[in-house]
Amino acid sequence: MQGSVSSATENGIGTVTFFHPQSNSLPGEILTKLAQEIASLGNNPDVKVIILKSEGEKAFCAGASFDELISIKDFETGKKFFSGFAHVINAMRKAPKFVLVRVQGKAVGGGVGLACAGDYTFGLDSSSVKLSELAIGIGPFVVGPAVERKIGSGPFSQLSINATEWYSSQWAKEKGMYSELYSSIGEMDIAIQTLAERLSKSNPEAMMLLKKAFWQGTDHWDTLLFERAEMSGKLVLSDFTRNAIEKFKAKA
C-alpha cells in the first residue's frame, strides 16, 4: 500500500495517523484502514478519547486519490471506492468517544469531510478549505451530510457550488468547522494534548451520552452515505469527469 495508517494508545488517548505521499490523499486502502482503526479505538475500553491526524506539515488531506479515480472502470468499483468515505465518516460518528481532528494544512474534498466529522477540530491560520468535487464533474455527495451538519446548508452550498475557490481558515472557524485556530503547529499540538488529557480523565459514560446527543438524528446515515456513494460511483465513469480529472492531474 502506498501510504500508511497507524494507531497508538497512551494514557487513555488513542491516536490514528494517516499518510500518503500525494498530499495525504485517500486511496481506497487508506480509507479502509482508517475506518478500521477508528472503530477499533472506539471499541477499546482503554481509550477515552481519539485524535485523528495526518503526517507532515503541509496538506492535511487532499481528498480522493486522482490516480484511483481515473482507474475506476465500472460502477461497482466506483461505488466501493466512494463507500470508503462513508465507512470512515460513519466510524467517526458511531465511535462512543469524542474524535478530535488535527488539521495542520489545507483540506480538500474528503479532507473537509474528515474535518467536519470530528467532534472538535483544530486548525492553523493556514488551514484553508475547498470542496472541489463539482470541478471534476462529481459532487461532495458522501461527505456532504457531515459538512452540512457542521456548518449549515448555506455555507455548505457555497463551498459546493464555488468549487474552485479556497475558503480561509477564519471563514471555516466562523462557520463552525474549526473549534480553535493557531498560528503554529507547536501551539496547536499543545492545545490538542491539553484537551485530550482533560477528556481522558472525564466520565466515559457522560462523554458517550453527550456524543450520542450531538449526533442525534443521523442514524439514517448508515444507508444514506452509501446511496450517495452510488451517485458518485456513476458520475466518475462519465467522459466529463474522466477528462476533468486528467486535466487536474496534468496541472499537478
pLDDT above 90 covers a percentage of the chain that reads 92
Q: How far is CA 177 from the centre of its chain?
A: 11
Q: Roughly how many angstroms between the first and final C-alpha of the chain, as a whole number?
A: 22
pLDDT at 179 (0 to 100): 98
Per residue in 175-191, pLDDT tens? Answer: 999 999 999 999 999 99
Give the torsion sign (CA, 127, 109, 84, 178). Answer: positive
- Which CATH code of 3.30.70.890, 2.60.40.10, 3.30.70.1340, 3.90.226.10 fits the domain covering 4-183? 3.90.226.10
Per residue in 71-117, pLDDT tens? Answer: 999 999 999 999 999 999 999 999 999 999 999 999 999 999 999 99
Half-sphere exposure of 179 (CA within 13 A, CB side): 16
Per residue in 160-176, pLDDT tens? Answer: 999 999 999 999 999 99
Per-domain boundaries in the chain: 4-183
Per residue in 146-165, pLDDT tens? Answer: 999 999 999 999 999 999 99
pLDDT at 251 (0 to 100): 72
Number of H helices, E strands in the chain: 11, 8
pLDDT at 1 (0 to 100): 63
